[in-house]
Amino acid sequence: MVTYAATLDVPRHTVEFPARLLAAHRRLMGTPKGPRALGPFRQAVLVPRWFRERGCVHRPARDAGVSQATGYRYLHEGIAVLADQAPDLPEVLNRCQREGMTHVILDGTPIESDRLAGVRENGSDHLSSQKHKAFGGNIQFLSAPDGTPLRVSDVEPGSTPDITTARIHALPALCKAAADGLPTLADKGYIGAGIGIPIPVRRPKGKSEQALHVDTRMFNALPRHVRALGERTAAELKQRRRTLQHVTLSPSRIGDTARAALVLNRIWK
């Protein structure tokens, strides 16, 4: 076996922030000094490393000198304290209005994961996304006009359409914000979202885009170009936090994992 030194390619403050959260969490839990295998900083190193490497936790745990079970326990703890720092939707929308944003952008993305058993009443797999041909969960991203990630929703099974997930986790607050002057731009997957959320007009089935009136095509093109910047949100998070490309934890943890990734992305800068 050959050993070698390695460097984690994240800014130091990206590790120091979760380290402080973990230290505060230990004090809150009344954990005495000494019995933990890793201190808060070394435990915090394990968390962003797992987010960067897109893999199981056994290698970070091995390098930290702890068992795989302890590594998973430390990882779940780190994800939880980070996810608790993610802002809720009303807080995000209020801040957007204070900063004078013209709109926000809503988009959904699948987060692939290892499959677990779960069958719906119609016999299809609960976690299977027929659109993306993969198992996992559906989460909703909200971004600023320049594409800055603002908020991540909780997860719904991969078989849940974007519009249904949005109705559960986002649309009530977004419709209220639209009434107050902050509209939300979305794609054709959100048809029926409600007033204040302009949706492109679908072309007639079996017809080309040219079948639409020129005014309608222009109506579709303008929001599409404005929305394009916001749709880079999911790509930015998935590339910086590669574990979001395929989560190896339970699919029920995808929401917390995505919110923790959002917090890490905010403190990265």
Residue 121 has pLDDT above 60, yes or no: no
Tell me the pTM.
0.85
pLDDT tens by residue, 123-159: 555 666 666 566 778 899 999 988 888 999 998 887 7
The Cβ-side half-sphere exposure at 201, using a 13 Å CA radius, reads 17
CB 108: neighbour CB atoms within 10 A? 23
CB 225: neighbour CB atoms within 10 A? 8
pLDDT tens by residue, 17-42: 999 999 999 988 888 877 788 889 99
Helices within 30-123 (DSSP H only) = 40-53, 58-64, 68-83, 89-98
pLDDT tens by residue, 61-115: 888 888 999 999 999 999 999 999 999 999 999 999 999 999 999 988 888 887 6
* pLDDT interval class at 198 (50, 70, 90): confident
The closest of 196, 99, 189 to 150, measured between CA atoms, is 99
Q: Which pLDDT does position 177 carry in this prediction? A: 92
CA 247/CA 137 separation, integer angstroms: 10
Task: Decide the pairing of beta strands 184-185 and 104-112.
Answer: parallel
Average pLDDT over residues 202-211: 70
Residue with tokens 């994961």: 113
* pLDDT interval class at 211 (50, 70, 90): confident
Q: Which pLDDT does position 2 carry in this prediction? A: 72
Q: Which pLDDT does position 82 carry in this prediction? A: 95
* pLDDT interval class at 200 (50, 70, 90): confident
